[in-house]
Amino acid sequence: ANTYYYPLPFPKLKNVKYIYDLVDEHTSVCISKTKNYVENFIKNEIEKSDKVITISNSLIKLIKEKYKKEAIFIPNGVSLSQFSEFSKIEIEEIREKYNLKGKFIIGFIGYHGDWSGLDFLIEVFNKLNISNKCLFIVGGGSEVEKLAKLASENIIFTQKISPEKIHLYFKI
């Protein structure tokens, strides 16, 4: 994790409830120079918070065991109706645009950050012995240029897709 995610501790204000949202176990990916800073930052923010929320049961367990505090599970939200209501015509247009028809597609949809593991996915994909394979990487992010240099000709990058259209890419 980069320390710019943890600039300065947030001051505790009188008569204001402070809810800390732990979205990941960032210290597991920190380099040694920043690990102690990030760990202390998270520990202090959790200790002074009135409530802690998180997106997974594994993080609830971590908070309880490591920081001795209860957390509330709030999952990431999604509109399920978007994934059941889709246009077959729009999906076919996407398949044509990226020349995906008849291919064995492995997909990734998300932000292309240094923590996303796309470099590993590309490395493994390049070693797969599958005919007519395609790695379809949907989204944008800070690592696109670096990742594109690792890509073979059967790896396709889209650019960032609008929230109104992203559900179509799950149907490819």
Give the model's pLDDT for residue 30: 65
Rounded Cα gap, residues 156 and 136, in angstroms: 5
Cβ distance 148 to 129 under 8 Å? no
Q: How many helices (H) and strands (E) are present in the chain, helices listed first? A: 7, 6
Tally Cβ neighbours within 10 Å of residue 60. 19
pLDDT along the chain (172 residues), means of 10: 54 86 74 80 91 90 94 82 79 94 92 80 90 92 85 89 88 86
Rounded Cα gap, residues 98 and 138, in angstroms: 11
Give the model's pLDDT for residue 6: 54
pTM: 0.62
Cβ distance 136 to 106 under 8 Å? yes
Cβ distance 45 to 24 under 8 Å? no
**Cα 95 from chain centroid?**
24
